[in-house]
A = this chain, B = another copy of it.
Amino acid sequence: MACPIKHPTLLIPGPIEYDEAVLQSMSHYSESHISSSFIETFSETLSMLRKLFQTEDPSSQPFVISGSGTLGWDLVAANLTKPGDDVLVLHSGYFADSFADCFEIYGIRATQLKAPIGSCPELAEVEKALREKNYKMLTVTHVDTSTGVLMDIKSLSELARRISPETLIVVDGVCSVGSENIEFDTWELDAVITASQKAIGCPAGLSISMFSGRAIKVFKARNCPPGSYFGINPCNLKLLANSSTASFKNWLPIMENYEAKIPSYFATPSPQLIHALHTALAQILSKPLPARFKAHRETSQHVKEAITSLGLKQLASRPENQANGMTAIYLPEHIKASELLSSLYKKDVIFAGGLHKDIAMKYIRFGHMGVSVVSAPFLAFSDTLLINFLDGPEKK
């Protein structure tokens, strides 16, 4: 059930509208972070994440840590790569630039394979790049929130495994987990990082991720950075990860213990947020995942057809690269994004402006994920409203 308190409907590509039961879980009375009741909740939450990511491999490891989606980048860069490593970053919008920045902070060489706005690197280009250099890691933004471009993770992973089998495959799934199909085991992924506030449908504040047994092995086999720090024994275990907040050394035992229902402490988790995540995941898993992804595809298709029928274009130019949880729409010349968003706001519907800095004023973004998709009449109203606004001025 959608939140019953009257408020403007939030249809941006995250944070999304939350189910009432999820919001009520946020008000859970205070519990100790090492109480058996909370450990039970945390353990079940981690187990449910395995189902959402479709992994049955016991060597995979889910992580849930207080933080935002960006923390996932630190987890990857601080633990799975070392200063001097080469990483290939596939660019389909704003967020690849930021992930590349994060790598550079850790002294890792990030090579971006860029595509024009609205598209993504071709498989042939990725193949060429992988043949040219030995990359420790390949990163892919599954859905770029700034452009709504969807990348085909399955094909990319097959390609990478064939050309460069040692390369770790890392997916930025912040805007895809919960709305796009992700088969962690079958696609042989090494890491998928995400956040709570998008298609998973839990308020912001949690970094959520899944790492493969292979990724964990790479961390455990990690040597220390080559003479990185002045005056410190370079084989000091503490240097295994060059960040404290993001260190697997700190977090791995905690996640293993919580899932095994053993009280454990590194930093205090947020029981309230984890209760809300538990509620959100239980709702998602109460129905078959394929049905959930189908609902997102159908809703998305409906929106995209309406947009196309008005003669409008999406940023994502090819149908196979259009995300199912959001649509980024180029506005007609005579419609100003700020005015459109204000008009819609007066009708109690919130869409998002552009985020890709080169064309930010020329487009808007419409998020259709989670409860908004399940609760169809409510979405259909907003959908119709947007279409009317976009259609209206031209007819006049």
Q: CA of A7 to CA of B31 in the docked complex: distance in angstroms?
A: 9
Q: Does A93 contact B (CB under 8 A)?
A: no
Contact in complex: A270, B205 (CB < 8 Å) = yes
Q: Does A340 contact B (CB under 8 A)?
A: no
Q: CA of A205 to CA of B266 in the docked complex: distance in angstroms?
A: 14
Contact in complex: A238, B105 (CB < 8 Å) = yes
Contact in complex: A83, B230 (CB < 8 Å) = yes
Q: CA of A68 to CA of B84 in the docked complex: distance in angstroms?
A: 30
Partner of A244, one of B73, B226, B241: B73
> Can you name the residue of chain B whose Cβ is closest to the Cβ of A3?
B29
Q: CA of A178 to CA of B29 in the docked complex: distance in angstroms?
A: 20
Against B, the Cβ 8 Å flags (1 = close, 0 = not) of A331-357 are 000000000000000000010100100
Q: Does A62 contact B (CB under 8 A)?
A: no
Given A104-B232, A204-B271, A272-B203; A245-B71 close (CB under 8 Å): yes
Could you say which residues of chain B place their CB within 8 Å of the CB of A244? Answer: 70, 73-74, 77, 101-102, 105-106
Q: CA of A69 to CA of B18 in the docked complex: distance in angstroms?
A: 27
Given A5-B29, A16-B30, A243-B243; A204-B71 close (CB under 8 Å): no
Partner of A31, one of B10, B35, B195: B10
Q: How far is the CB of A276 from chain B (nearest CB, A)?
A: 8
Those of A207-242 within 8 Å (CB) of chain B: 225-226, 228-232, 236, 238-239, 241-242
Q: For A71, A104, A109, A268, which residue has the most chain B Cβ atoms within 10 angstroms?
A: A268
Given A105-B247, A230-B107; A15-B33 close (CB under 8 Å): yes
Q: How far is the CB of A243 from chain B (nearest CB, A)?
A: 5
Partner of A74, one of B7, B225, B245: B245
> Can you name the residue of chain B whose Cβ is closest to the Cβ of A236?
B104
Could you say which residues of chain B place their CB within 8 Å of the CB of A106? Answer: 229, 242, 244
Partner of A30, one of B3, B28, B268: B3
Chain A interface extent, by class: 35 or more
Contact in complex: B30, A107 (CB < 8 Å) = no
Q: CA of A24 to CA of B29 in the docked complex: distance in angstroms?
A: 10
Against B, the Cβ 8 Å flags (1 = close, 0 = not) of A30-47 are 111101000000000000
Q: Does A27 contact B (CB under 8 A)?
A: yes
Those of A140-191 within 8 Å (CB) of chain B: none
Could you say which residues of chain B place their CB within 8 Å of the CB of A270? Answer: 68, 197, 203-205, 273
Contact in complex: B269, A204 (CB < 8 Å) = yes
Contact in complex: B272, A204 (CB < 8 Å) = yes
Q: Does A121 contact B (CB under 8 A)?
A: no
Q: CA of A230 to CA of B86 in the docked complex: distance in angstroms?
A: 11
Could you say which residues of chain B place their CB within 8 Å of the CB of A14? Answer: 268
22 pairs from A and B in contact (CB 8 Å cutoff): A3-B29, A15-B30, A15-B32, A15-B33, A18-B30, A23-B27, A32-B352, A68-B267, A69-B268, A70-B245, A74-B244, A83-B229, A84-B230, A101-B244, A106-B229, A107-B228, A204-B270, A204-B271, A204-B272, A204-B273, A205-B273, A242-B243
Q: Which 8 A-B pairs have the closest CB atoms?
A: A107-B229, A205-B270, A84-B230, A68-B267, A26-B26, A70-B267, A204-B270, A23-B27
Residues of A that sit less than 8 Å from B by CB: 3, 5, 7, 10, 12, 14-18, 23-24, 26-33, 35, 66-71, 73-74, 77-78, 83-84, 101-102, 104-107, 109, 195, 197, 203-205, 225-226, 228-232, 236, 238-239, 241-247, 265-273, 350, 352, 355
